[in-house]
């Protein structure tokens, strides 16, 4: 079983010889059937003799935060006291990294420069610079989603165009009758464009409702699958605005093109005479 061991830089005085506590994540607790108060034996390597391993008590079961870097990783996380982890791992008085919180008024750039000026054997980085480096996976996924989105938009645009053209063409006889009654070409085109616009708006509203329901299902499914509070699908006002605008432009455009073509055709020809 894969254990990723993180530690808190926290030292707590405990009575000599009494087992100390650890915090484990929900997934690990569920998989290993552990609960708060259980005693477990910890070692850094699978073949460590029992007398060299540490006995600890499960002090807390933690729910994972919304950290994208943990999604799709099967690792279990154990949090323990720094000195204890250093001892178990034979790491000595070392850490992998320090996290430093600056005061709100501090100039982070200057602080970084000062640390790096005196640093010997390590280097300080701004958190957001590290985030850019470590989020490459999500940038790739994001680019992939964008590409899939473009293909989907092209497909749905053609579909919408096709449906609108068909819908207008179905009205050949109505248009012919209107033209024979003396209704002007412009009025015919206008009425069809308004109708196309209304259909596009109704379709958009229905599409938003379906999208919202699908989004709920997607979040429910993947949050349960990956045991994370992260949202996988978010419908933002800008996405809704884009979808409605695209559907209106395509609907009205298709209605305009098809109705203009029909309005130009002699009414009797529309009747098939």
Partner 1 sequence: MRATLAQASLIRHRARTILAVLGVAVAAAMLLDMVMLATGMRESFRELLLVRGFDIRLAPKGTLPFDTDATIPHVSAITAVLRGNPDVRDISAVLGGSLHIEADGRDVSAAVLGIDPKVQGDYELVAGRDVASADAIVVNEYLLRELGAKLGDTLTVATGFDAQTRTYAGQKKLVLTGIARFIYGAAEQSSAAVRRETLEAMEGQKRRDRASLFMVKVRQGANPDSVRKWIEGHIPNVTAISIATAIAQVDQRLSYFRQLAFILGAVSLFVGFLLVTTLVTVSVNERAGEIAVMRAIGVSRLHVVEQVIIEGIAISLAGALFGLGLGLITARYLNSILSEFPGLPMAIDFFLFQPRAAWSALGLLVASGIGAGIYPAWRAASLPIAESLRREAIA
User: Could you list the residues that contact partner 1 (CB under 8 A)?
Assistant: 1-2, 45-47, 72, 74, 120-122, 136-137, 140, 143-144, 147-148, 151-152, 154-156, 158-159, 161-163, 165-166, 169-170, 173, 222, 225, 271
**Residue number with CB closer to partner 1 (51 or 133):** 133
**Residue number with CB closer to partner 1 (41 or 187):** 41
**Smallest distance, Å, CB 44 to partner 1?**
9
CA distances to 12, 179, 186, 229, 270 from 267, in Å: 91, 6, 14, 62, 5
**Residue number with CB closer to partner 1 (113 or 170):** 170
**Smallest distance, Å, CB 221 to partner 1?**
8
DSSP, res 225: H
Residue found by looking up tokens 């957001």 in the block: 128
CB 190 within 8 Å of CB 196: no
**Smallest distance, Å, CB 151 to partner 1?**
6
**Residue number with CB closer to partner 1 (18 or 151):** 151
**Smallest distance, Å, CB 11 to partner 1?**
23
Radius of gyration in angstroms for the set of CA atoms belonging to the chain, rounded to a whole number: 32
CB 85 within 8 Å of CB 91: yes
**Residue number with CB closer to partner 1 (86 or 156):** 156
**Smallest distance, Å, CB 12 to partner 1?**
28
Distance CA 190, CA 257 (A): 12
* Burial zone of 227 (CB within 10 Å; 0-12 exposed, 13-18 middle, 19+ buried): middle
């Amino acid at each position: 079983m894969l254990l990723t061991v993180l530690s808190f830089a926290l030292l707590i005085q405990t009575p000599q010889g009494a087992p100390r506590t650890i915090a484990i994540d929900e997934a690990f607790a569920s998989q290993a059937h552990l609960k708060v108060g259980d005693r477990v034996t910890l070692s850094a390597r699978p073949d460590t003799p029992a007398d060299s391993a540490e006995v600890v008590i499960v002090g807390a079961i933690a729910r994972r935060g919304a950290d994208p870097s943990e999604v799709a990783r099967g690792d279990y996380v154990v949090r323990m006291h720094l000195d204890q982890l250093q001892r178990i791992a034979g790491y000595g008085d070392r850490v992998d990294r320090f996290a430093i919180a600056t005061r709100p008024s501090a100039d982070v750039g200057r602080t970084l420069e000062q640390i790096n000026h005196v640093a010997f054997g390590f280097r300080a980085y701004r958190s957001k610079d590290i985030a850019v480096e470590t989020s490459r996976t999500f940038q790739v996924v994001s680019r992939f989603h964008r590409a899939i989105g473009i293909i989907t938009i092209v497909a749905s645009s053609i579909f919408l165009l096709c449906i609108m053209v068909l819908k207008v063409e179905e009205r050949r006889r109505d248009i012919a009758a209107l033209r024979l009654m003396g209704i002007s070409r412009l009025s015919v085109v206008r009425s069809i464009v308004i109708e196309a616009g209304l259909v596009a708006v109704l379709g958009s509203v229905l599409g938003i409702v379906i999208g919202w329901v699908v989004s709920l299902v997607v979040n429910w499914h993947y949050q349960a699958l990956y045991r994370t509070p992260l949202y996988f699908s978010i419908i933002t006002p800008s996405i809704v605005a884009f979808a409605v605008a695209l559907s209106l432009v395509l609907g009205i455009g298709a209605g305009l093109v098809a109705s203009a073509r029909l309005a130009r055709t002699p009414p009797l020809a529309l009747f098939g005479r």
